[in-house]
Structure 1
């Protein structure tokens, strides 16, 4: 008998496997960040970071707070829904430290250069 994939699980995996989403969530687990801080800390273009943050905000995982100062200050943080992902992200980190070798990471980097 074939098991049918749960649509909610499929949606969650699709969201978490979207390129750069995991690193953005990992960064926001450290606390509230300005866009420029995340852009400096992540190996991602500003345009793509902006797109991913908008997607995560639409999903209710990230909250954006705008301060009416000059210049305008915008900060991003995890919502309650986003903070609920912390154990998942931490477990992926533990798994990666135990099972992903430095050689695998280096080989992947070399493949991207080719």
Structure 2
């Protein structure tokens, strides 16, 4: 297998930058749970299966990066709820696209979870040209 030259600089890329924030399994699953309106640590832990220490670290990172915010709902003992910030809500097309890709290429079965718009119809993420509206079609090499 060919190797990259040692003097080559990695491509400057906003995808890599985004993956630094939400590029691990647990972070995206936390965002998914908040998108589903689960707010509390115990619910997020149960629905993701994340170990408590890992979940705590991911919540802290998402807080520090501005993806989520927390609000105290109990003072004795101190307990917090988490919410997506505007930055976090902007990840919804990413979640919808991953969900669709997983359904079409990995699971290939009916997905019991739907994301519905306020009108009641299912939300589907699609990539299209901003000018003409044509969908993205990737050609094989």
Question: Do Structure 1 and Structure 2 share a fold, with TM-score over 0.5?
Answer: yes
Which of the pair has more CA radius of gyration?
2
1:45 Cα deviation after fit: 0.7
2:31 matches 1:14: no
CA distance in 1, matches of 2:47, 2:107: 23
2:75 is paired with a residue of what secondary structure? coil
| CA offsets 1:8-59 (integer angstroms, 9 cap, x no match) | 3311023332231111111110115111111121111111000000000000
Number of aligned pairs? 101
In terms of fraction of residues, the more helix-rich structure is: 1
TM-score (norm: length of structure 1): 0.77
Cα RMSD, aligned residues only: 2.2
Call closer, same or farther: CA 1:32–1:65 in 2, change over 3 Å. Answer: farther
Contact 2:38 2:44 in 1 (8 A): no
Call closer, same or farther: CA 1:42–1:101 in 2, change over 3 Å. Answer: closer
Which protein has greater RCO, CA pairs closer than 8 Å, 6+ apart?
1
Q: How do residues 1-114 of structure 1 correspond to structure 2 at under 5 angstroms? A: 5-101=11-107
Gaps of 5+ in 1: 103-114
TM-score (norm: length of structure 2): 0.63
Gaps of 5+ in 2: 1-7, 109-141
1:66 is paired with a residue of what secondary structure? strand
